[in-house]
Amino acid sequence: MAMNYNAKEEDGNHHSGAGPGAGLKSKKPDNTAFKQQRLPAWQPILTAGTVLPAFFVIGIIFIPIGIGIFVTSNNIREFEIDYTGMDQNSDCYKCWNASYNSTKCSCVVNFTLDYAFESNVFMYYGLSNFYQNHRRYVKSRDDSQLNGAISSLTNPSKECEPYRLGKDNKPIAPCGAIANSMFNDTFRLYQIVNETEKTITLNNKGIAWWTDKNVKFRNPSGNLSKVFEVTTKPINWEKPVYELDEDSSNNGFINEDFIVWMRTAALPTFRKLHRLIENNSKYPTLAPGSYSLKIDYNYPVRSFDGRKRVILSTISWMGGKNPFLGIAYITVGSICFFLGVVLLIIHHKYGNRNNSDGIPN
């Protein structure tokens, strides 16, 4: 009894001046409602009367939403053209062996649209089996350089290795593996009317995110050609960064094609916005009929067993064509509604028996 009393006193920090426990602090929590977990709490009691309505409400709400999203997605017009050139009957077959340093190759893909594309049309390019989500690839860039910092322009980050320095040890701008592998195929779209090619205007403005264009990417101050004199272009590029576009306002690090490419994709099969086809009249943007897509085949994909494609698509209030979200809503709503029916039958059949045993329903 004496030992228990002494231990209790030691736990309560009531020490006499002597003894082995003198001066030691107790690890026992303070006697407060919070530390002793005596605060008032609310815990729901799950009964058939509360759970079953929740299942039915979720089902009734989710199923109509899913159907609406699914129908909206299916109403989006989309046309895909694979121009990789693996098929020997394709005009692009002659370009399949192209590499960054090979002779320029061009090919033509003719196609027919069976339905009209109303409003604005978005042209995407797509790549398959290209892993932009690789850890070292994603890190291979210098954000300070891309934001216009002169110090990073002349002394890029070591994360850019082995694409940090070029010939004569000049710093590369923009440095890194992401910039070096930038997609550089070009497209020209024509509508064939009475055996005559009518050029379709492809707009390269407004394809990048506003935050990227105005916040993350900036040019160094001053004349670009002079500022970039101390740097060299990436190894696989034909032109320096300040000559990417004929429009001087779309050159340097604020070039929108470059900005779109630098936003890395999460999956190995992806698409990126390339051009806009704007509708400025009451007529369809792309009417049904024959079209011709002329391609400057510059981007090699055979080395990594990749595929290339062009996608023409309209959009809706929910974005591009993507039936997954509608299917997910319909599936979850159907499962909840089905479980509600099953549990209601079980409750109706066995609920009285539980009540007789004193168990709340």
HEC string of 39-102? CCCCCCCCCHHHHHHHHHHHHHHHHHHHHHHHHHHHCCCEEEEECCCCCCCCHHHHHCCCCCCC
Range of 222-226, 228-232, 333-337 with top mean pLDDT? 333-337
What is the mean predicted confidence (pLDDT) over 261-280?
Answer: 94
Average per-residue pLDDT for the chain: 87
pLDDT at residue 128 is higher than 70 = yes
First to last CA, the chain: 50
What confidence score (pLDDT) does residue 42 get?
83
pLDDT for position 318: 82
CA 125/CA 273 separation, integer angstroms: 7
The model carries a pTM of 0.78
pLDDT given for residue 71 in this prediction: 93
**Confidence at residue 102, expressed as pLDDT on a 0 to 100 scale:** 66
Of 274, 167, 257, nearest to 213 by C-alpha is 257
- Range 66-90 average pLDDT: 92
What does the angle CA 337 – CA 338 – CA 340 come to, to the nearest 5 degrees?
65
Contacts of 270 (CB under 8 A, 6+ apart): 126, 127, 130, 132
Mean pLDDT of 53-74: 94
pLDDT: is 48 or 243 the higher one?
243
User: What is the band of 33 on the pLDDT scale with cuts at 50, 70, 90?
Assistant: confident
Whether residue 161 is predicted with pLDDT greater than 80 in this model: the reply is: yes
Local confidence band at 47 (pLDDT 50, 70, 90 cut-offs): confident
Query: Which comes out higher in pLDDT, residue 161 or 100?
Result: 161
Rounded to 5 degrees, what angle do the CA atoms 85, 88, 92 make?
A: 30
What is the Rg, in whole angstroms, of the alpha carbon atoms belonging to the chain? 33
CB 59 within 8 A of CB 333: yes
Q: Is 60 exceeded by the pLDDT of residue 1?
A: no
| Beta carbons of 113 and 102 less than 8 angstroms apart | no
